[in-house]
Structure 1
Amino acid sequence: MDNFWASMLAAFVMSVAAPYWGLTEAVSLRARMMMAVVIIFLSVALGWYDGHWNPLDDGFVGLWTVVAYVDAKERIIPNRFVLLTILWGVVVTPWTLQIAMHDLATGLGLFAFYLLVHFVTSGGLGMGDVKFSGAQGFVLGWPQGLLASVVGLWAAGLYSLILLVVFRRSRGQAIALGPFLVLGGLAGLVGLLH
């Protein structure tokens, strides 16, 4: 029951904060309601699926759902979401020095990997994706940060393949990676609890 109220709170906070999501146009009431329903559904479903779910993790679900929405709509992950991910992780994660060092190393490793991809693709992978993946790695730690990255990249690859084969899209067409990083992050959160 705590999970339901935590999911309601996360949905409410994210809906009220819609003017600060970083979109270039105002967020409609319909979009806010849709996001609130998605946040509540995901939080309750993850809490039901995983008996170890911490209601504080609903904050990540709310935040990352908004990240997926903003990136899908605008093709950008604003720095405020990267910072909020790190801050919420610091607040809710019980750390020892050893765990903090592993989490920091995971975050820096993922940041470095995605930064390399950013340079190799001449900016084909945005810096928002680079920073957000590093923040997720820091929050989730080892090996869940790597799990989140692998799941996100596999999902993005599968989606791209479907676009190419089924919908006959061109190879040069860009997709937003943020929603897939969020999917991987949620898988990493569930993995973190086991």
Structure 2
Amino acid sequence: MTIVIAVYITLLGLILGSFYNVVALRVPAGESLSHPPSHCTGCGTQLKARDLVPILSWLASRGKCRHCGARVSMLYPLGELATGGLFLWSYLEFGLTLRGVTAVILSSLAVIVTVADLKYMLIPNKVLLFFAPLLLVLTLLNAEGPVWIYLLGAAVGGGIILPFAWFGGMGMGDLKLFALLGLVTGFPVVLLAFFAACLLGTLVGGTLQLTGTLKRGQPVPFGPWLAVGALLAYGYGSQIIGGYLSLIH
């Protein structure tokens, strides 16, 4: 039964991942989510069902439009694959629980923010406003301690990003995002999330610079790393902090 549920949740993630791509690519551009229907951005041809199968359609067409041959961004299959994988992780790590539901919602936010930030260097307020009440309610229901721990997590999350947003290097979207993520992870786990985000961003950014993929001084979106750091902290923060404290005592 576990395998059946895992497969179903993964497939659900792949399907929703396709929709999340639409949200991430249309909302920042001020476009409708429903009109026009899914179409090739190169020739404008409306896509049929065979063109919209998560991952498989992209692979079958070799990453190109069947009609005009225009390149289809890898963000589409990667967004779908990431959502499916994160949904599966949420189920395997937390099961069919409220924490599992929170992980799914957090994963959904992470995918949308990542795709939008990679494409536009922008984290849409509309997306954050949609997820904020959902995550607030789930956080209150899942609270494993006093509510002030989570409120402090939000304050610290926003406060950490404030100097970077004020003096440049990050945007207000990053601040709002990490305040929301800090609400979910709580304090002091939010600090671990920020450390993980910085470490991953530095490692990947440095590697891309060394390989010439990223030019020195080229702006890099930090929202994806904040999201990944928060997911790691949400899933394993208590264990990591507990393990660290046991080493120093």
TM-score range, shorter chain: 0.7 to 0.9
Contact 1:111 1:134 in 2 (8 A): yes
2:217 pairs with 1:160: no
* Residue number in structure 1 paired with 2:222: 177
* Residue number in structure 1 paired with 2:87: 43
Gaps of 5+ in 2: 32-37, 41-51, 53-57, 59-74, 240-249
Q: 1:165 to 1:19 in 2, by over 3 A?
A: closer
* Residue number in structure 1 paired with 2:63: none
* Residue number in structure 2 paired with 1:132: 177
Q: How much does 1:163 deviate?
A: 2.8
After TM superposition, list the pairs within 5 Å mapping 1:83-102 onto structure 2.
Answer: 83-93=129-139, 94=141, 99-102=146-149
- The amino acid of 1:153's aligned partner reads C
2:11 pairs with 1:15: no
SS in 2 for 1:69: helix
2:117 pairs with 1:114: no
Identity, % of aligned pairs? 21
Contact 2:153 2:183 in 1 (8 A): yes
RMSD between aligned alpha carbons?
Answer: 3.0
Gaps of 5+ in 1: none
Deviation by residue 1:131-155 (Cα, 9 ceiling, x = unmatched)? 1011100111122222211111111
* Residue number in structure 1 paired with 2:113: 67
Of stretches 130-139 and 184-193 in structure 1, the one that deviates more from structure 2 is 184-193
Q: Distance in 2 between matches of 1:152 and 1:180?
A: 5
Aligned length, in residue pairs: 191
Structure with bigger RCO (C-alpha 8 Å, 6+ apart)? 1
TM-score by length of 2: 0.64
Q: How much does 1:182 deviate?
A: 1.5
In our comparison, the structure showing a higher alpha carbon Rg is 2
After TM superposition, list the pairs within 5 Å mapping 1:20-31 onto structure 2.
Answer: 20-21=23-24, 22-24=27-29, 29=52
- The amino acid of 1:60's aligned partner reads L
Contact 1:85 1:136 in 2 (8 A): no
Q: 1:6 to 1:27 in 2, by over 3 A?
A: farther
- The amino acid of 1:79's aligned partner reads N
Larger helix share, 1 or 2? 1
